[in-house]
């Protein structure tokens, strides 16, 4: 039997569960707009660096970077790194199926990270705005656009960091000639969360950039506390109101309850509904409408005459171009040069920087209630309810994927020569890491959503959800900017509520 110690009184105004970009957004906005509030942030994983939430790509030492990625790969590696070995997934993540207690039907590549900063310590930093039907129509356009501007400020988003990357202009010229897009859907540099320095080097935005002064212990002050290796086991609530959170120190096993009138659950699209389920908060839509973005990839080499005619010099940075989503072509393309590509490229040591191009097309899929993450009373490695994922593509999804393969083929032929004889291929479901919809936002409490437009859970005052799981629409664009924008709106609603 576990021993629970109760901290009496009202030590915190807000508890934030999860330290990724969306949880950090709540902390930052509350700090800026209501600095008198006492905020506690808890994270089940470890602190990877002195600067909380630092992107591991900014760690210059390869061994330090590898160690940080390994420590992020779940409860086994974060608590016993000396006995851990790299997993089969993307560095810094662990597959759900690695848990022997987690059946995983339909999404074999489902993965997550467990560390301070969440996926914000490992992501590609792509921050496109949603377009056309990707946008949330029941939110006021001006309000949403203002939230996007604020999200871009928090993430330090720019489209200009790699304008001088080798061949970037030529890549976009060739893509434009093939796709002939105009207006907001035109071929353009990908907006990225990155800061470029005068010497040409870049700093990738991790969650530390969102946290701002809260990311460093010496600048936090006494109104914000961050605890790593701390698992929230349950949101405590009574008569439809949040009263606090039950926390477990994973290093000692001690369990305590902290009191707070507001709890924000920003664990990720799989673990946020898991915590609500464990807390006995189970609206009909919880875990349902789970949405992935099927990912079609390939790689090409620019023609020799283009490479030979261009002076590259000592270029350090790779270009990233963007083929935006449209309702007529419901997918979006990331065209990533050389080391920015998410897939293995050439093994030739003499490859000219920027001349090898990775093509990744993300597809929008239908929002289907039956696609879901379910939970039962059997424990996972953290002692939380075991997950099982049920996910299938519709006939319309399969048609969109085929159209995306054709688009990648067109893009590849316009750019150069494919690296091998394989046609563009679909990665296993879950590879995108862009899961959405599991705690989706809605305009009305009609059983088809978990939270309202302010991200507050229906029927539980003071409980907010955050992250990609809140996004209710079918999207193809990278979701982080949208989830941060929604977190801005949610945080400001808390400020209005408390003040």
Please check the confidence at residue 102 and state whether its pLDDT lies above 70.
no
Q: How many CB atoms lie within 10 A of CB 231?
A: 22
Which helix (DSSP H) or strand (DSSP E) does residue 472 occupy?
none
Q: Which of 428, 448, 475 is the last residue of a domain?
A: 428
Which pLDDT does position 220 carry in this prediction? 87
- Tokens of residue 144, six digits: 């949403």
Query: Are 237 and 222 contained in the same domain?
Result: yes
Q: How far is the C-alpha of 133 from the C-alpha of 136, rounded, in Å? A: 8
Q: What phi and psi values does residue 484 have, to the nearest 5 degrees?
A: -70, -40
Highest mean pLDDT, choosing among 98-112, 117-131, 308-322: 117-131
Long-range contacts of 27-31, Cβ-Cβ distance < 8 Å, separation of 24 or more: 27/211, 27/214, 27/224, 28/154, 28/210, 28/211, 28/212, 28/214, 28/491, 29/487, 29/488, 29/491, 29/492, 29/495, 30/491, 30/494, 30/495, 31/212, 31/213, 31/214, 31/223, 31/224
Which of the four pLDDT bands, split at 50, 70 and 90, describes residue 74? confident
Q: Which domain, by its residues, includes 147?
A: 1-156+205-291+368-391+435-499
Q: What is the distance between the alpha carbons of residues 457 and 464, in angstroms, rounded to a whole number?
A: 6
- For residue 465, the model assigns a pLDDT of 98
Q: Could you tell me if 152 and 179 lie in one domain?
A: no
Question: Count of H helices and E strands in the chain?
Answer: 10, 24
Structure tokens at 281: 């908060």
CB 343 within 8 A of CB 358: yes
348 & 415 share domain: yes
pLDDT digits (tens, 9 = 90+) for 436-457: 999 999 999 999 999 999 999 9
- Total structural domains in the chain? 2
Q: What CATH number did the domain enclosing 29 receive? A: 3.50.50.60
Average pLDDT, the chain: 90
Same domain, 273 and 310: no
DSSP type of residue 287: T
Mean pLDDT across 356-383:
94
The CA dihedral of 84, 90, 91, 92, to the nearest 10 degrees, is -80
Looking at residues 73-91, what average pLDDT do you find?
63
Which of these is catalytic: 31, 381, 434, 444? 434
Among 57-66, 179-188, 334-343, 348-357, name the one with the lowest average pLDDT: 334-343
- Range with lowest mean pLDDT among 92-106, 388-402, 456-470: 92-106
Q: Which residue has the higher pLDDT, 354 or 445?
A: 445
Going by pLDDT thresholds of 50, 70 and 90, the confidence category of residue 166 is confident
**pLDDT the model gives residue 342:** 38
**CATH number of the domain enclosing 173:** 3.30.410
Do 423 and 488 fall within a single domain? no
Please compute the mean of the pLDDT values over residues 18-22 and round it to a whole number: 98
CA separation (Å) from 438 to 139, 283, 413, 448, 473? 19, 11, 38, 11, 11
Q: Are residues 346 and 424 in the same domain?
A: yes
Looking from the CA of 157 toward its CB, the CA atoms found within 13 Å total 23
245 and 186 fall within a common domain: no
Distances (CA, A) of 249 to 97, 233, 266, 382: 25, 10, 18, 11
Q: Catalytic: 434?
A: yes
Mean pLDDT of 188-196: 95
Q: What integer pLDDT is reported at residue 311 of this predicted model?
A: 55
For the cut 60, the answer to whether the pLDDT of residue 179 exceeds it is: yes
Q: What percentage of the chain exceeds 90 in pLDDT?
A: 77
At residue 100, the pLDDT reads 46
> Are both 334 and 414 inside the same structural domain?
yes
| Same domain membership, residue 373 and residue 325 | no
Strands (E), 365-470: 372-379, 385-390, 417-418, 425-426, 463-465
Summarised one tens digit per residue, pLDDT across range 21-36 is 999 999 999 999 999 9
Side-chain half-sphere exposure of 142, counting CA atoms within 13 A: 0
Same domain for 99 and 21? yes
- Same domain? For 78 and 152 the reply is yes
Q: Verify that 219 and 238 share a domain, yes or no.
A: yes
Q: How far apart are CA 52 and CA 151, in angstroms?
A: 19
Tell me how far CA of residue 416 lies from CA of 319, 337, 349, 358, in angstroms.
16, 13, 20, 12
State percent of the chain over pLDDT 70.
88
Read off the pLDDT of residues 216-230 as tens digits, 9 standing for 90 and up.
988 888 899 999 999
Q: Are 436 and 469 in contact (CB under 8 A)?
A: yes
**What is the per-residue pLDDT for 201?**
84
What is the per-residue pLDDT across 474-489, written as a single tens digit (0 to 9) for each?
A: 999 999 999 999 999 9
Tokens of 35: 């600095």
Arithmetic mean of pLDDT, 395-419: 97
Note whether 473 and 330 are within 8 A (CB): no
């Amino acid at each position: 039997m576990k021993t629970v110690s109760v901290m009496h009184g009202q030590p915190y105004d807000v508890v934030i569960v999860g330290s990724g970009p969306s949880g950090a957004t709540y902390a930052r906005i509350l700090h800026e707009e209501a600095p008198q509030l006492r905020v506690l942030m808890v994270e089940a994983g470890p602190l990877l660096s002195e600067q909380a939430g630092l992107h591991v790509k900014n760690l210059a030492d390869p061994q330090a970077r590898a160690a940080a990625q390994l420590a992020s790969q779940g409860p086994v590696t974060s608590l016993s790194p000396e006995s851990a070995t790299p997993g089969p997934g993307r560095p810094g993540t662990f597959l759900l199926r690695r848990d022997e207690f987690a059946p995983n039907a339909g999404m074999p590549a489902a993965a997550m990270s467990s560390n301070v900063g969440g996926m914000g310590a490992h992501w590609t930093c792509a921050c496109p705005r949603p377009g056309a039907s990707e946008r949330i129509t029941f939110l006021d356009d001006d309000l949403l656009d203002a939230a996007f501007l604020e999200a871009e400020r928090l993430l330090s988003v720019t489209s200009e960091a790699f304008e001088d990357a080798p061949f970037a202009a030529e890549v976009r010229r060739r893509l434009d000639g093939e796709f002939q897009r105009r207006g907001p859907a035109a071929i353009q540099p990908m907006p990225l969360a990155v800061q470029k320095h005068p010497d040409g080097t870049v700093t990738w935005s991790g969650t530390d950039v969102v946290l701002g002064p809260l990311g460093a212990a010496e600048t936090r002050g006494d109104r914000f506390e961050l605890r790593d290796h701390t698992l929230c086991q349950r949101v405590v609530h009574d008569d439809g109101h949040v009263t606090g959170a039950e926390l477990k120190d994973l290093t000692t096993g001690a369990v305590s309850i902290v009191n707070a009138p507001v709890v924000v659950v920003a664990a990720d699209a799989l673990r946020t509904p898991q915590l609500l389920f464990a807390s006995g908060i189970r609206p009909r839509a919880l875990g349902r409408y789970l949405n992935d973005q099927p990912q079609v990839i390939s790689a090409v080499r620019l023609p020799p005459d283009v490479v030979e005619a261009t002076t590259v010099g000592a270029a350090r940075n790779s270009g990233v171009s963007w083929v935006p989503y449209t309702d007529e072509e419901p997918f979006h393309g990331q065209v990533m040069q050389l080391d920015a590509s998410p897939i293995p490229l050439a093994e030739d040591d003499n490859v000219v920087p920027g001349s090898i191009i990775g093509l990744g097309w993300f597809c929008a899929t239908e929002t289907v209630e039956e696609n879901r993450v379910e939970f039962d009373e059997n424990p996972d490695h953290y002692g939380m309810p075991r997950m099982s994922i049920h996910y299938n593509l519709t006939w319309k999804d399969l048609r969109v994927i085929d159209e995306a393969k054709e688009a990648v083929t067109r893009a590849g032929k316009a750019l150069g020569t494919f690296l091998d004889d394989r046609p563009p291929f679909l990665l296993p479901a879950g590879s995108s890491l862009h899961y959405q919809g599991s705690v989706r936002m809605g305009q009305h409490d009609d059983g088809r959503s978990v939270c309202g437009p302010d991200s507050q859970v229906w029927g539980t005052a003071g409980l907010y959800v955050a992250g990609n799981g809140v996004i209710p629409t079918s999207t193809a664009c990278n979701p982080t900017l949208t989830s941060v924008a929604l977190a801005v709106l949610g945080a400001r609603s808390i400020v209005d509520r408390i003040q």
